[in-house]
Amino acid sequence: MLMGCVEATAYEQATSAAEVQAEARRRLTAEYAQQTAELEKLRSERDQLRADNTRLQAALSERDGAVDQAQLELVVAKQEHSQETSLVQQLRGDLARVGTSLDVFADQKADLTSELGAARAENARLTARVAELENANAASAAREATVDGDGAAGSSDSTAADTESASASDSVDAESAESGSAEAAPPPPEPQPARASDDR
Q: 117-130 pLDDT, tens per residue?
A: 999 999 999 999 99
Q: Compute the distance between CA of residue 41 and CA of residue 56 in angstroms, rounded to an integer.
A: 22
| More confident of the two residues 18 and 135 | 135
- The pLDDT assigned to 121 comes to 92
**Residue 148 has what DSSP assignment?**
T
Q: Compute the distance between CA of residue 175 and CA of residue 129 in angstroms, rounded to an integer.
A: 8
90 touches 181 (CB < 8 A): no
Cα of first residue to Cα of last residue in the chain, in angstroms, is: 146
* The pLDDT of residue 183 is above 50: no
Q: Closest Cα to residue 106, out of 197, 167, 185, 15?
A: 197
pTM for the structure as a whole: 0.34
Average pLDDT over residues 141-154: 67
Which span out of 11-15, 123-127, 194-198 was modeled with the highest average pLDDT?
123-127
Q: If you average pLDDT over every residue of the chain, what do you get?
A: 76
Q: Compute the distance between CA of residue 41 and CA of residue 39 in angstroms, rounded to an integer.
A: 5
Grade residue 198 by pLDDT with cuts at 50, 70 and 90: very low
Q: 3-state class of 12 per DSSP?
A: helix
* The pLDDT of residue 51 is above 80: yes
172 touches 80 (CB < 8 A): no
Residue type, 163: T
- The pLDDT assigned to 146 comes to 83
- The pLDDT assigned to 8 comes to 66
Sign of torsion over alpha carbons 143, 149, 154, 159:
positive
30 sits in the region (left: phi over 0; alpha: psi -120 to 50; else beta) called: alpha
- The pLDDT assigned to 173 comes to 53
**Residue 186 has what DSSP assignment?**
P
* The pLDDT of residue 179 is above 80: no
Q: Compute the distance between CA of residue 169 and CA of residue 76 in angstroms, rounded to an integer.
A: 85
* The pLDDT of residue 200 is above 70: no
* The pLDDT of residue 41 is above 50: yes
H-run or E-run covering 40: helix 2-146
